[in-house]
Chains A and B, each alone.
Chain A
């Protein structure tokens, strides 16, 4: 926006030592936004020719690939107000700029949201995880986005902000198609929230990739069930990735699960039944250079089945450990 001469001093940038710090000027001089308040103003002024940048792990490859860059890039990396993690009742809230590696590293997040931590551990490579942010992962809206299915099953919500104000939306409504979201051209995702872990909640994240690391999932699934004292499923959430235009929940499978038990020998049959339902009712995969649609469906069927069997094992383990949630 403004390119100060490379010899400009700090004093000259903040107003010649007048003592009046003018935030916009500092942000401009820093080539990046520093304060959350002003971020939407940049977007309002510059959209639709502006793209926000956080980790840049999606935006920069896209620019390189297409050979064309947005006219403006609004650099959010210095906005400290987008970096937070806190409890909000039974929910956990985190800023859009929370790095993917933070989910695996932050003691608070790993404790409060182990499902997100597991999924985060699979995203890209260590270098990419250090740069990439949860907000960016969601806004990029890849059908295979690593953080999407965990947020879907944890009843995640997205907080968006523009000069017109703030709004909050369930993550399921946020995704609109491959690379498309409900975000307005002048809006920014500023934060997210999700259910925190509770002793009655069991979760599992599984994915299938072509190689052991740094690969995009051919299929992925997140599963979460809340059990009552008798071990009956009170609430179920099941989401799948990479098999539809957006990551999405399988409402039919969730309905089937509620009221069922996760004990005894019937888990395998239940798992198979749920897996078939997910594939029949929820999946509409494509064939591409990575694999065929059929293989994606088959892997989804398998991952859903394995996820439910895993929860069955977790439940048994929790029972034998005296009800403590030591199953992870």
Chain B
């Protein structure tokens, strides 16, 4: 059987126009690498327009208060100040992807310390900064709700006027969980907590907005979803979408934090109100305060099952901390409640989640989109369950995995599934069996698995899919237009590889056109690990159509039946008579001269076979599901509680690695970020104020904190993917934290159920364990 990735169009079967000659599966260098490392790549902060004015955001110093009045006169009287904008200048209608509970600048109330209250616009940055201190806001403080437990109390002060501050409540169930738990041989139940964490991308948010005489804004910025964000921003600004053009600059990392971030919206708003070109560049402190960190969750997991390790029932109860505004909270909560059921299709499940407003910065997407939080809880709880049964935790997982081609209780069609292979590979690479059985003192080994999606039907309401355009210029250069963004993960390179392979030209002949909403196709953006699978398929479709048109012209020119043509590296020839040859450039140029200079163009699209989940969450959320397994090996210092990582073994079923080295790079990056989540990172609030608003005390791992990472790419060859590929981006982070927590338990017998697992927490747990051992000793 021919592998799906190598399948050509039906009428050309056997000719092998794709998948066996070009750069697919080859570790070509990232096409932007040299510009990036030599400082030539231009980011939003590099945009300098003549006559630009500078915007500085005035933030609330109080976590929760009524705004009594704002006096801007002192600021306005400062020489060089152009304008001071406040909530009064903003549209009355709120905006937000799920719940319209946010305004561009605060109206009537502030809801977190850092909430945007005013914008000072001045001719230079220093003046804007100084005048921002002169905006006098009178506040009438309200009680600060620090966490969901407090906010849900009856009679608690209301952040938005919704009862008990519950922004959303989601409940879903399949089978009969109570009955299954009643019959279970073994039941375990524990509660887990995940913290508020910042994306810590290297590039803080920045934007420059220009405005022309007609009032049309051009916004230069870097976002994960520049094309979709344009639509949301226009709606928030209350203007026609056509009056906003977004020009995407290079992006220094996003990780969910640059899905419609606030700073570019504030910048466009300022340009709209002042009629001036405006520059707004976040300081790192502004970026911390104005960030949209990961949704913290308290997750109670109850598992019930049989003696052999089969899980028959699972119950999840989640309280999610929404922060001050909703943004993507409801979708993240929904994801947390049931995505993991595609990894273990437990027949009887119940999940109840509540999303609660508090007086902290609004939360939103972060690599894993709620799925990471649940994986931490469930992957730890499975180890508890296995231990209660005296079984190997990997064996219990194997008993419960989804099978390739299966359908889970929510209707998800699993398709390719290499999770068994992932487990085999990490178990063998880490010498799992041996190290579980014979462990050195203080050392331990733990594992975790994961499932995710390749695009998420429902995150964007109207559709899931992507489109692309190809234009082959008369000199043979192939221009690709896609609206799906590269935020550093390498999408532009992967797209270029797909185009080169499909059209039959060298990689150097492919130009991936930077995104400008005036020329880019509509695209819903880089999130849900969807770009290679959904965007890549669209790119491939456009490239195929361009190639087919080109070969038709070539067939005419060479007077050869089209099915006898071969195309490679820009050369086209008759495979039975190789002397009859031409080139992509020659064919397109001849056509251009015949047609008034016309380029050869094609458009393509892809709509995955998905089904929008209904109100009971029945559907099929993604076209393909990626899987992974990771093993962590740790050593715990019993006297300090410090964790030393001795190695991470990672196997990822990504369908097919279009670029193996870039895939490995993404896995290493995801694991590093996962280590940060597991061991170091937490935005800490004291009396409602962010206490670590910089990298001095918001610690991310350094290279010395990252152990050796051994990677295995599992190529399960997804039939619907471009050349067999599916997603990779988010799964890289998801299993890391639970694998580390499970390894710590194996090492020293303490179960760390709260992230981050800092050394002081480990030490306290070790001391508590010693005390309880002593007590038990006396009883015996």
B705 in the interface, Cβ–Cβ < 8 Å?
A: yes
* Bound CA span A116–B133, Å: 43
- Interface residue? A214 (CB, 8 A): yes
Q: How many inter-chain contacts with C-beta < 8 Å in the A-B complex?
A: 45
Picked from B699, B703, B763, the residue with its CB within 8 Å of the CB of A298 is B763
User: Which residues of A are found within 8 Å of B642, using beta-carbon distances?
Assistant: 208
Known: A291-B760, A295-B763. A212 touches B702 (CB 8 A): yes
B776 at the interface (CB under 8 A from A): no
What residue of chain A has the Cβ atom nearest to residue B758's Cβ? A210
> Which chain B residue lies CB-closest to A295?
B760
B684 within 8 A of A: yes
Cross-interface CB contact of B697 among A289, A292, A299, cutoff 8 Å: A289
B contact residues around A302 at 8 Å (CB): 639-640
Residues of A within 8 A of B640 (CB): 208, 299, 302
Interface residue ranges of B702-754 to A (CB < 8 Å): 702-705
Chain A: CB-nearest residue to B284:
A64
Shortest distance from the beta carbon of A66 to any chain B beta carbon, whole Å: 11
| CB–CB B129/A67 < 8 A | yes
Residues of B with C-beta under 8 A to A61? 696
A216 and B696 contact, Cβ closer than 8 Å, known pairs A210-B680, A211-B705, A289-B691: yes
Smallest CB–CB gap between B125 and chain A, Å? Answer: 12
Q: Is B462 an interface residue, CB under 8 A from the partner?
A: no
A292-B760 contact given A208-B640, A210-B680, CB 8 Å threshold: yes
A86 at the interface (CB under 8 A from B): no
- Docked CA distance A239–B704 (Å): 28
CB neighbors of A among B622-643 (8 A): 639-640, 642
Q: Which residues of B contact A210 (CB under 8 A)?
A: 680, 699, 758-759
- Assess A212 versus B704: contact at CB under 8 Å? Given A290-B697, A292-B760, A302-B639: yes
Residues in A with CB closer than 8 Å to B692 are: 289
Closest chain B CB from A163 CB (angstroms): 33
Nearest chain A CB to B4 CB, angstrom units: 45
**Looking across the interface, which residue of chain B has its beta carbon closest to that of A290?**
B697
Q: Answer yes or no: A49 CB below 8 A from chain B CBs.
A: no
- CA–CA, A273 to B124, complex, Å? 61
Chain A residue nearest in CB terms to B702: A213
Q: What per-residue 1/0 map shows which CB atoms of A272-315 lie under 8 Å from chain B?
A: 00000000000000000111100100110010000000000000
The residues of A that contact B684 with a CB separation of less than 8 Å are 289
Query: Min CB distance, A106 to chain B, in Å?
Result: 24
Report the nearest A residue to B756, measured CB to CB.
A210
Q: Judge if A215 is at the interface, Cβ distance under 8 Å.
A: yes
Q: Separation in Å of the B640 CB from the closest CB of chain A? A: 6
Nearest B-chain residue to A288, judged by Cβ: B691
A70 CB to closest chain B CB (Å) equals 16
In the complex, A291→B758 CA distance in Å? 9
Indicate the member of A65, A211, A291 with the most B CB atoms within 10 Å. Answer: A211
Which A residue's beta carbon lies closest to that of B767?
A: A298
Query: Hey, which chain B residues are within 8 Å of A290, CB to CB?
Result: 697
Whether B686 lies near A289 (C-beta < 8 A) is yes
Is B660's beta carbon under 8 Å from chain A?
A: no
Q: Which of B686, B699, B763 contacts A211 (CB 8 A)?
A: B699
**B97 proximal to A (CB < 8 A):** no
| Number of chain B residues whose Cβ lies closer than 8 Å to a Cβ of chain A | 26
Q: Are B702 and A211 in contact (CB under 8 A)?
A: yes
Report whether B699 and A215 are in contact in the complex, using a CB–CB cutoff of 8 Å.
Answer: yes
A227–B679 Cα distance when bound, in Å, is 42
By beta carbon, the residue of chain A nearest B639 is A302
Most buried by B among A64, A65, A289: A289
Chain B residues with CB under 8 Å of A295's CB are 759-760, 763
Shortest CB-to-CB span from B637 to chain A, Å, is 9
Chain A residues near B639 (CB, 8 Å)?
302
Residues in A neighbouring B458, C-beta threshold 8 A: none
Q: Which residues of B contact A291 (CB under 8 A)?
A: 758, 760
Q: Cβ of B570 < 8 Å from any Cβ of A? A: no
Bound Cα distance A211, B705 (Å)? 7
> Chain B's nearest CB lies how many Å from the CB of A234?
30
CA of A65 to CA of B696 in the docked complex: distance in angstroms? 12
The residue in chain B whose Cβ has the minimal distance to the Cβ of A215 is: B699
User: Counting CB contacts under 8 A, is B701 at the interface?
Assistant: yes
Q: Once the chains are docked, how many angstroms separate the CA of A64 from the CA of B699? A: 19
Contacts of A65 on B, CB cut-off 8 Å?
285, 694
Q: How far is the CB of A127 from chain B (nearest CB, A)?
A: 12
Set of chain B residues within 8 Å of A216, measured between Cβ atoms: 696
Cα distance A214–B705 when bound, in Å? Answer: 11
Taking the closest CB of chain B, its distance from the CB of A57, in whole angstroms, is: 12
CA distance A289 to B680 in the complex (A): 12
Q: Shortest Cβ distance from A264 into chain B, in angstroms?
A: 23
CB distance B760 to A214 under 8 Å?
A: no
Q: Please, how many angstroms separate the alpha-carbon atoms of A158 and B687 in the complex? A: 41
Q: Which residues of A contact B763 (CB under 8 A)?
A: 295, 298
Q: How far is the CA of A215 from the CA of B283 in the complex (A)?
A: 21
Q: What is the 8 Å Cβ interface bit string for chain A, positions 211-231, against chain B (1 contact, 0 not)?
A: 111111000000000000000
**Complex Cα–Cα for A211 and B696 (A):** 12
Distance between Cα atoms of A190 and B562 in the complex (Å): 84
Q: Measured between C-beta atoms, what is the minimum distance from A298 to chain B in Å?
A: 7
Q: Tell me the residues in window 130-161 of chain B with beta carbons closer than 8 Å to chain A beta carbons.
A: 133
B702:A214 contact, CB within 8 angstroms = yes
Determine the chain A residues whose CB is within 8 A of the CB of B699 once the complex forms: 210-211, 215
Give A61 to B696 CA distance when docked, in angstroms: 10
A64 to B693, CA, bound (A): 13
**Measured CA separation A291–B759 after assembly (Å):** 10
Closest chain B CB from A291 CB (angstroms):
5
Q: How far does the Cβ of B766 sit from chain A's closest Cβ, in whole Å?
A: 11
Contact with B along A186-221 (1 / 0, CB 8 A): 000000000000000000000010111111100000
- B701:A211 contact, CB within 8 angstroms: yes
Interfacial chain A residues near B758, Cβ < 8 Å: 210, 291
In the assembled complex, the Cα of A211 lies from the Cα of B702 at a distance in Å of 8
**B524-555 contacts to A (CB < 8 Å):** none
The residues of B that contact A298 with a CB separation of less than 8 Å are 763
* A307 smallest CB distance to B (angstroms): 13
CB of A213 within 8 A of CB of B704, answer: yes
Q: What chain B residues lie within 8 Å of A289 (beta carbons)?
A: 684, 686, 691-692, 697
Per-residue B-contact encoding for A53-79, CB less than 8 Å = 1, 0 else: 000000001001101000000000000
Please name the residue on chain B nearest to A67 by beta carbon. B129
A208 to chain B: closest residue by CB? B640
The 3 closest A-B pairs by CB, nearest first: A212-B704, A295-B760, A289-B691
Q: Which residues of A contact B (CB under 8 A)?
A: 61, 64-65, 67, 208, 210-216, 289-292, 295, 298-299, 302
Q: Beyond the given A289-B697, A295-B760, A299-B640, please list 17 additional residue pairs across the A-B interface where CB-CB is below 8 A.
A: A208-B640, A210-B758, A210-B759, A211-B679, A211-B680, A211-B701, A212-B705, A213-B703, A213-B704, A213-B705, A215-B699, A216-B696, A289-B692, A290-B697, A292-B760, A298-B763, A302-B639
- 7 CB-based A-B contacts, threshold 8 Å: A208-B642, A210-B758, A211-B699, A211-B705, A216-B696, A289-B686, A295-B759
